[in-house]
Amino acid sequence: MSRIALVLLLLASLPAAPVLALLAMPPAPTGPRLVLHPPWLHGPALVRAAGGSPLTGAPLALLAYAPDPPAFDHRLRTLGAWAIVDGTALAGLCGTPAPTL
């Protein structure tokens, strides 16, 4: 029985490395951001309150864009975002182009 528990633990921990690598990526100076937020905050409202535009989202994360990324990132953290990471690769995978200002 302990062997099964060990296998299940190892399988459950496999996604941890890519998630940690994603969270360690600093956002690019420009371009979309992947905003990770707690479940008690409404992601699109959080992004709008910080001065950005939501592009596409999921329950605890969304791609967002803002004309002034450093100030946008600071406001997001102040308003309760858990993490802000580079969303360029994810935006390409989702087929979401960055808006032109």
CB 76 within 8 A of CB 50: yes
Choose among 94, 101, 79: nearest CA to 34.
94
Indicate whether 90 belongs to any domain.
yes
> What per-residue confidence (pLDDT) applies to 73?
92
Model pLDDT for residues 25-57, shown as the tens digit of each residue: 667 777 888 899 999 999 999 999 999 999 887
Domain interval for residue 33:
24-94
User: Is residue 3 a part of any domain in this protein?
Assistant: no
CA distances from 95 to 23, 63, 73, 91, 98 (A): 21, 12, 23, 6, 10
User: Which of helix, strand or coil describes residue 12?
Assistant: helix
Please state, rounded to an integer, the average pLDDT across all residues of the chain. 79
Residue 66's CATH number? 3.30.70
Is the pTM above the cut of 0.75?
Answer: no
User: Residue 14 pLDDT more than 70?
Assistant: no
| Structural domain count, the chain | 1
